[in-house]
Amino acid sequence: MEVSLIGNSQMKIGKADENLRDLRFFNLRNNYNNKVLISKTRVCFGQLVNSENRNHGFRFTLRAVKADAISVEEKDNSSSLRSLKSVDGMRLFVGLPLDTVSKSNIVNHARAITAGLQALKLMGVDGVELPVWWGIVEKDAMRKYDWSGCLAIAEMVQQMGLKLHVSLCFHASQELKIPLPDWVSRIGEAEPNIYFTDRAGRQYKECLSLAIDDLPIFDSRSPIQMYQDFCESFNSTFAPFMGSTITGVTIGLGPDGELRYPSCDHAKKHNNHSGVGEFQCYDNYMLEHLKQHAEEMGNPMWGLGGPHDVPTYDELPSASSFFKDDGGSWETPYGDFFLSWYSNQLISHGNRILLLASAVFSKSPVIVSGKLPLVHSWYNTRSHPSELTAGFYNTVNRDGYEALVQMFAKNSCRIILPGMDLSDAHQPNGSSPQSLQLQIEGSCRKHGVAITGENLSFPRVTDGFEKIKGSLLEDNKVMDSFTYQRMGADFFSPKHFPLFTAFVRAVNQLDLDVDDMPETRRVCEPVHMSLEAVQMQVA
């Protein structure tokens, strides 16, 4: 598989500061007489395990193309160009692999990432997003930071002329075997109540419970103070890049970086997504908050624990009485008491984190964001059980996102919303991602909160690109940027990469058919890129 990257610095169509680019796939056997395809270099992003992909890598040659300048006014008269609906100001980013910086704090697959950055730059992508792991940067001791791997990436991105968004990840990753910092995990072994806990007593050890945000249990420092120290160290270390190369910072708010409870993570591990999840309020600190709240409300018996008539992770809403559409406990005074408390705990946690991030980065010219998940399962039922267990008190009778969006607005932060590639077609369990997306967008429009869209990395959705383009190309003032997740082996596969190329072309309002250009405009002077074969693990 051969990829040709064709760039022209003189063309002025599309984004004002972007070059005209076209990215095409060639079959090497059908182009053996083409001098452009002489290069023997090969760059592999991951091991393509499918039999049909096994012999394919990411092989590309950079060609300099001489062409006359084409002004914007000429676009309508050119048979080579097809107009698309304007998405003026839309910025497109691509997520770097989750393991871009290794556990030993070096850049994984540096040559392959460099090649990928060059490809994205020539395509007209604005920049990339980098995960920054708490368990790597502050691994060994509190306030002992090692930013070397992240600095190396920032320098690579800067040299390429791209922008960089960073995601500060205060959670662990079982997939990559990146834990929380060692010193945090040691404390967790002695005091497991620092983690979210379900009704059966199982701890979720990939992030800290929000109930301990302000408790000084880490050498006299609270999690909020530790997060603030981390952000201040980052802001100081990366000051030369802030505003010029680094234009956005996303701060982790919970499991997978999202503002939610880990209500369905047990089901995910068992590949069962049909259940409603479970409430995560059974660590001692959460139970203490619940008890105190119940006493303040004059109903101390309501504070003895979570609801008793709820299903388990994998069960349907009808398995117990709490989430039943007719006569369910969620509509009783007790149900309103518990769900209000559970949701307000999450909103208060989000406010604490966004407040500290806004304060730390207030003098840096960057956009601060937080991620809000698209919990769309069972959306078409009256009780919305999956949203309730995740912490969103959103039912047929109540808008559970209004207060959340107001919290983002108060802290002048934008929302990152994943799932833009999902449509209602073929969704199980009364799911409606499109309806939920519209609801959240409506609240954001009302309160002036901007959205950065994302797709879901896995599983890939067949018609996902069309769904994303539909969201981006419509007249939608709340969404002005999109991050495509994520670079890796499948990203550069022969099946996927041409689709992504067409998607970028659409977002940039360009669709140039190079074969329709006059031959005098396709004078090829090969400039071959010498890159050794490298492998990138699937992120």
Catalytically annotated residues: 258, 454
How many CA within 13 A on the CB side of residue 232? 10
Under 8 Å CB-to-CB from 438, ≥6 apart: which residues?
none
Measure the CA angle with vertex 218, ends 212 and 372; round to 5°.
Answer: 40
Residue 104, Cβ neighbours under 10 Å: how many? 10
Measure the CA angle with vertex 408, ends 87 and 180; round to 5°.
Answer: 105
The per-type count for the chain, helices as H runs and strands as E runs, is 13, 14
Residue with tokens 């329709």: 516
CA 68 – CA 284 distance, rounded (Å): 70
Tokens (6 digits) for 493: 């596969």
Selection from 44, 45, 137 nearest residue 96 by Cα: 45
Selection from 347, 321, 355 nearest residue 401 by Cα: 347
Give 474's DSSP letter.
S
Give phi and psi for 368, each to the nearest 5.
Answer: -100, 135
CA 141 – CA 118 distance, rounded (Å): 36
Tokens (6 digits) for 371: 């991620």
Whole-number Cα distances in Å, 480 to 89, 90, 349: 6, 5, 27
Count the helix, strand and coil residues of the chain and give each as a percent rounded to the nearest 5: 35, 15, 45
Residue 91, Cβ neighbours under 10 Å: how many? 19
Give phi and psi for 148, each to the nearest 5.
Answer: -60, -45
Pairing of strands 59-66, 2-8: parallel
Tell me the β-bridge partners of 3.
Answer: 25, 60
Is the Cβ–Cβ distance between 417 and 374 less than 8 Å? yes
Q: Is 218 helix (H, G, I), strand (E, B) or coil?
A: strand
Whole-number Cα distances in Å, 206 to 219, 246, 251: 20, 27, 16
